[in-house]
Amino acid sequence: MAAARPPRMTRLENWYCLRCNQELESKNKSVAVYMFAQTVGIKPRQKSSAQRICFCPQCSVSLAMGPPPEGALNIAAWNMIRDLVGADPALNQAAWDSLRGVVGSLPSGDAESVPRPAVGGAYFEF
């Protein structure tokens, strides 16, 4: 009896982690990186629209713990994420919680061939 189905067609607030492509709903914990460009010393002053880039907690922590990526924009984003991860353990906790959620949802049949979550080895792709 599936009477009240969740409104899955509303995609207004759904985003995807840039690194692992996991869907991030607005109720999910995530890190959003906002970026916009603005002219300086030029009249009239112009401002671009803002872009929003999202990372899930696991990828945020993994990126922050990893080596600096290449490219000035990537390093700027990496430094911002490191600020967040380093400032408060809440983001680490969120990553840990969702990691435990993934492990808990795996079939409990053959524990020896449990696939490990893909962590590390990825880079920013702006």
Instruction: Report yes or no: 66 and 126 within 8 Å, Cβ to Cβ.
Output: no
Q: Which is nearer to Zn ion, 32 or 37 (CB)?
A: 32
* Window of 53-61, 70-78, 87-95, 104-112 that interacts with Zn ion by CB under 5 A: 53-61
| Among positions 24, 33, 54, 59, the unique one binding Zn ion when judged by CB under 5 A | 59
Question: Considering the rule CB under 5 A, would residue 61 count as an interface residue with Zn ion?
Answer: no
Distance CA 80, CA 33 (A): 8
Rounded to a whole number of angstroms, the minimum distance from the CB of residue 57 to Zn ion is 8
| Among positions 15, 17, 91, 94, the unique one binding Zn ion when judged by CB under 5 A | 17
Distance CA 109, CA 30 (A): 31
The token pair that represents 55 in the structure block: 């990372």
Query: Residue type for 99, please?
Result: L
Sign of the torsion angle spanned by Cα atoms 19, 20, 22, 28: negative
Q: Which is nearer to Zn ion, 37 or 102 (CB)?
A: 102
Question: Considering the rule CB under 5 A, would residue 81 count as an interface residue with Zn ion?
Answer: no
| Among positions 31, 54, 56, 95, the unique one binding Zn ion when judged by CB under 5 A | 56
Instruction: Report yes or no: 24 and 30 within 8 Å, Cβ to Cβ.
Output: yes
Residues found near Zn ion in the complex (CB under 5 A): 17, 19-20, 22, 56, 59
